[in-house]
Amino acid sequence: MFQGIGTFLSVASSIAEGQAKANEAAYDRYQMQLNARQTKIEAFQKSNARLRDFQQAQSHNLAFFAFLNRDPSDRSLKGFMSAQEEIATKDAAQISSTGFMKASQQLQEADMARARGRNAMLAGYLGAGSAIASGFYQNQQTKT
């Protein structure tokens, strides 16, 4: 009788441990997914901020060149403005790209957390199965 109770407790604890670890992994996954979304949002905001900064700088440059009485159709002025726009656009694209790559890594980590959860559940059930088999074996040993 005590052997049966011990086997039952071992089975129950193996399953409960697997479920607890699976729940922890599910929570970790959820947090990682939230972090990935936040990373994308931050990258988008930083990219937009970089473009806004460029637009402000462009406005200041145009005002300064007007103050200096420079012709806005001047080739050197157009070349300068074009180069500045290209730099700002590349910066914004790089910021976005970096953010999306980081978010992608975070989503991969979330997938790994899901796999850990599945593995924990499987380990719990296998541990329970092992406890049952061990309990039956010990029960047979004590009967003979």
Over the range 95-107, which residues count as b (16 or more CB within 10 Å of their CB) and which as e?
bbeebeebbeebb
Domain boundaries, the chain: 2-143
How far is Cα 123 from Cα 131, in angstroms, rounded to an integer? Answer: 12
- Rounded to an integer, the average pLDDT of 89-117 is 94
Dihedral angle, C-alpha 16, 20, 21, 27, nearest 10 °: 160
CA neighbor of 96 nearest in space, from 44, 35, 53, 50: 44
What is the per-residue pLDDT for 39? Answer: 95
Dihedral angle, C-alpha 32, 36, 39, 41, nearest 10 °: -130
The terminus-to-terminus CA distance of the chain in angstroms comes to: 16
Task: Give, as one character, the DSSP assignment of residue 72.
Answer: T
Q: Whole-number mean pLDDT of the chain?
A: 89
pTM: 0.70
According to the per-residue pLDDT averaged within each range, which of 10-14, 65-69, 84-88 is highest? 84-88
